[in-house]
Structure 1
């Protein structure tokens, strides 16, 4: 779960950086660096939730598919939810 937390934070922060860059300077170097970082973090969040071997809380995998904030929603659901069978 620490990797999921880190990847979801990187995903959300990089989205904010991209949006702020779009509204203000629209500097291409920022987009060129942060864009792929955001995409990679998004894919890591999805892969972590899809490939989890442990019983996972219902709805976490679907939440992880939401771009930008899906990782944060998945982490929040994992903190609050119970695993199946409890």
Structure 2
């Protein structure tokens, strides 16, 4: 079995981090510049995570559905892709 795509490895944590920044900004800072800069980045990371997970050869239906959960879905799908691997038996 192969590792998940590098794009997924980068964008899944990025999606979660940008959501955290947006929520902190919404709750405390209220800076329009932060929302304008980080909002589209979060949206792009979300779309990339969903599409990249769907294109993974080892992704099952559960991983794809998990990737569609906003915020933590990418990390959950990535975890499923990396832990749902069965070791090859020799002999």
TM-score (normalised: structure 2): 0.83
Runs of 4+ in 1 over 2 A off after TM superposition: 55-58
How big is each residue's C-alpha offset from its partner over 1:58-82, in whole Å with a ceiling of 9 and x where there is no partner? 4110100000000000011111103
Deviation digits for residues 28-65 of structure 1 (CA, Å, limit 9, x no counterpart): 0000000000000000001101223x232441101000
Rg larger in structure = 2
Other-structure match for 2:72: 69
> What stretches of structure 2 of length at least 5 have no aligned partner?
none
How many residue pairs end up in the alignment? Answer: 83
1:5–1:71 contact (8 Å) kept in structure 2: no
TM-score (norm 1): 0.87
CA distance in 2, matches of 1:62, 1:17: 24
Q: Aligned to 1:19, which of 19, 23, 26? A: 23
